[in-house]
Amino acid sequence: MVQSSLPVMLIGVPLAAAGVVFTLGRWTRLCREGAAVGGALLTLYLAVLAVGQVLSGASLNCCQMALNLDGLSALLVVLVTLVTAIVIFYSLHYMYHQLRKGLTTEARLVTYYGLLMVFLAAMMWVCTTNSLIWMYVALEATTLATALLVCFFWTRASLEAAYKYDMLVVAGVCFALFGTVLLYSAAAQYAPGRPALLLTELGQIIPKIPPSVSLLAVAFFVVGFGTKAGLVPFHAWLPDAHAEAPAPISALLSGLVIKVGAYALARTITIFAPHYNAVIVFVAIMASASMLIGIFMAWAQDDLKRLLAFHSVSQIGYVIEGLGFGTYLGIYGGLFHLVNHTLFKSLLFLSVGAVMYATGGLRRISQLKGLGKRMPITAACFFIGAIAMGGLPPLNGFWSKLTLFMAGSELHLWWAVVIAVLVSILTLGCMVHAGYKIFWGHPTTALVTNPGLKEVPVAIWLSMAVLAILCIVIGVYPQIIHPLLHRGTECILAVYRAGAIP
C-alpha cells in the first residue's frame, strides 16, 4: 500500500473543471468546452499514471484508507476517463450542431459540459472510495449528474424518460442502502472503532456474519445495484433514458453509468458468492433472465436507440453472471466483458448519433436505408461494434464471451452456458439485421434528396474511430489488457480469501 494523492486528484480535477465551466463558461467557449476537454484529458493522464503504479504492484490510498485505488478501481478509472474524454470530443461538434439548429442555447451548453464534469468526478469517487456507504452516496451522485442530461433537449419524450430514470433508480438504489446498513450493523462488532465499513475488509467480516443477514444483504444489493445496472426486472428506466438522451449521453449511460452498478455488485456480491452456492445460482438466474428478455425486446424494436438500450439490458447479464460466479475465470470474464461492452456500446451509440446527425434526426430502422455509400466510416464503425457485441472473432467481444462460457462450464452450470451462447447468436443476428437494413441497398427517395446526407465531420467520426480501433486491438491482441484484468480479478479474490489487499 502506498500513500498517494492521486485518488484525491482524480476526483478534484474534474470537479475543479466543473467549477470553471459553471462560473466562467457563459463568457467564452474556451472556458466551456476548453475547461471540459482540459479537465477530461488531465483526469485521463492521472488515471494512466495511477494504472502504471497499480500495475507495478502498488495500491494507492489516502485519507486514512477512505480512498483506495486498487487493481479493480484502476481498471474502471482508466475506462471511465477514456470513454468520457472520447464522448466530450464527440460532443464538441455534435452539440455545436444542435446549437446551430436552435435545439439548445449557449447557456444550456454550460450546464451540459458542467454536468459532464460533475459526472466524471462522481464516477471517480465511486471507483476510488473504500467505504461501502460512501460508495452508495457516490453512486447516487452519478444518477444526479446524469438526470438532467437525459432531458437536456427538454422534449416530451425526454421528460418522461428523465422522470422514470430518477424515480426508479433512486427508489431501487435505496434498497442497496438497506443492504449496506444491515451489513454495517452486523459487521460493527467485528470491526469496532471503524468509521465506516471498508470494502477491503469485507472478506474478513462476511464469514462471521449470520447467513440470514448475508443473504438478505445480497438480495438488497441485487435489487439496488441491479437497478442501477439495468438488470431485469429492474430495467424499466433504461430503454427510455438511453433512447431519449442526446447521443453522447446515451453512450455514457450505456457505456459507463450501468457499469457503476456492475462495479458495486463486483465489490459486494462477488465477495459473498463463494460462501453461498445459492448466491451463484440466484445471480446466474437473474443474469440469464436479463440476457433473454433484453434480446427478445431488442428484436422487437424499430427505434435504433431503444434497440441498443435493450441490448444493454441483455449484455449486462453477461457481466453480472461472470461476477456472480465468484471464480477467477468468472470474475475475469465479467470484468473483461464490462470493458468490452463499454467500448462497443459507446461506439454503437455514437454511430447512431452520427446517423441522426446526417439524416436530421431519423433513428427508426424502417426510415433508414442504404446509408453505407454516403456514410462509409459510420457504417464501418457500426458494423465493428455490432460484430463485437455479437461475439465474433477477431473482435473484443469474442474473448470476453468465450471466457464467460468457460467459466460457466467450469462450474457445470450448463443451462447458463447454453442460454449465454444462444443469446450471443441472437445478438449477432439482431445487430447484423439492423445494420444491413440501415446501411445496405439504395437510399430511399427522401434520403437521396436530403442534401445533408453525407459522412459526418472528422470531429465526430474520429471519436468513433478510436473506439472501433480499440475494439479491434483488444480483439486481435487481448494480452494488452490482461495485466489490468488480472489485477482487478485478483483484488476481488484477495478480499474474499484473506481480506488483504494484494
Partner 1 sequence: MYPSPILTLTLGVLITGVAAAELRNLAASTWAYLVHSLFLAGTFAAFAIVTDSPQLYWWVLAAVLTKVIFIPLLLRWYIIRHPATELRPTLGLRLSLVILSLLLIVFFKLVHTHMNFIAPTEAASLEPARSNLAVAFTVFAMGLYVLVTRRDAVKNVIGLCLLENGAHLSLVVLAPTLPGTLFIGLVTNVTLFVWVLIYVTSGIYQLLGSPDTFRLSELRR
Q: Give the position of cell 446466474.
A: 284
User: Under the criterion CB under 8 A, does residue 196 sit at the interface with partner 1?
Assistant: yes
Q: Which residue has the cell 477467477?
A: 328
Stretch of residues binding partner 1 (CB under 8 A), selected from 33-41, 74-82, 93-101, 151-159: 151-159
Helical residues (DSSP H) of 154-303, grouped into ranges: 156-188, 202-205, 211-229, 238-244, 247-252, 258-272, 277-299
Q: How far apart are CA 71 and CA 388, in angstroms?
A: 25
Coil, helix or strand for 444? coil
Residue from the set 177, 289, 469, 472 that interacts with partner 1 by CB under 8 A:
177
63 binds partner 1 (CB under 8 A): no
* C-beta of 63 vs 281, nearer to partner 1: 63
The span from the CA of 268 to the CA of 282, in Å, is 15
Stretch that binds partner 1, among 69-77, 178-186, 370-378, 486-494 (CB under 8 A): 178-186
> Least CB distance from residue 166 to partner 1, whole Å?
5
* CB atoms near residue 105 (< 10 Å): 11
**122 lies in the binding site for partner 1 (CB under 8 A):** no
Return the number of the residue (5 or 189) whose C-beta is nearest partner 1.
189
Count the Cβ atoms, other than its own, within 10 Å of residue 449.
9
Smallest distance from partner 1 to CB 355, Å: 20
Range in contact with partner 1 (rule: CB under 8 A) among 208-216, 251-259, 263-271, 314-322: 208-216
Label the pairing between strands 2-3 and 60-62: parallel
Minimum Å gap between C-beta 142 and partner 1 is 11
Q: Which is nearer to partner 1, 143 or 315 (CB)?
A: 143
The answer to whether 236 contacts partner 1 (rule: CB under 8 A) is no
SS (H, E, C) 398-413: HHHHHHHHHHHHHCCC
Among 20-28, 155-163, 255-263, 468-476, the segment contacting partner 1 (CB under 8 A): 155-163
Instruction: Confirm or reject binding of residue 234 to partner 1 (CB under 8 A).
Output: no
CA-to-CA distance for 263 and 181, rounded, in angstroms? 19
* CB of 174 vs partner 1, minimal distance in Å: 5
Residue 459 touching partner 1 (CB under 8 A): no
C-alpha cell at 492: 476481488
337 binds partner 1 (CB under 8 A): no
Residues 6+ apart with CB under 8 A from 140: 170, 173
Peptide bond into 394 cis (omega under 30): yes
Which three three-digit cell numbers place residue 140? 447516487
Query: What span, in angstroms and rounded, lies between the C-alpha atoms of 463 and 331?
Result: 29
Nearer to partner 1 (CB atom), residue 171 or residue 421: 171
Quote the DSSP letter at residue 256: I
300 binds partner 1 (CB under 8 A): no
d(CA 103, CA 118): 23
Q: Does 64 bind partner 1 (CB under 8 A)?
A: no
CA angle 61, 64, 67 (to 5 degrees): 40
Does 201 engage in binding with partner 1 (CB under 8 A)? Answer: no
58 near partner 1, judged by CB under 8 A: no
Q: Looking at beta carbons only, is 304 or 474 nearer to partner 1?
A: 304
Q: Is 65 in the site for partner 1 (CB under 8 A)?
A: no
Piece in contact with partner 1 (CB under 8 A), picked from 57-65, 179-187, 311-319, 435-443 = 179-187
Question: What are the backbone dihedrals phi and psi of residue 68, each rounded to the nearest 5 degrees, phi first?
Answer: -145, 125
| Residue 105 found at the interface with partner 1 (CB under 8 A) | no
> Which positions ≥6 away from 70 have C-beta within 8 Å?
54, 59, 200, 487, 491, 501, 502
Are 426 and 295 contacting, i.e. CB atoms less than 8 angstroms apart?
A: yes
CB-nearer residue toward partner 1: 96 or 163: 163
Contact positions vs partner 1 (CB under 8 A): 131, 133-134, 136-137, 140-141, 143-144, 147-148, 151, 154, 156-157, 159-160, 162-164, 166-167, 170-171, 174, 177-178, 181-182, 184-186, 188-189, 195-196, 210, 212-213, 216
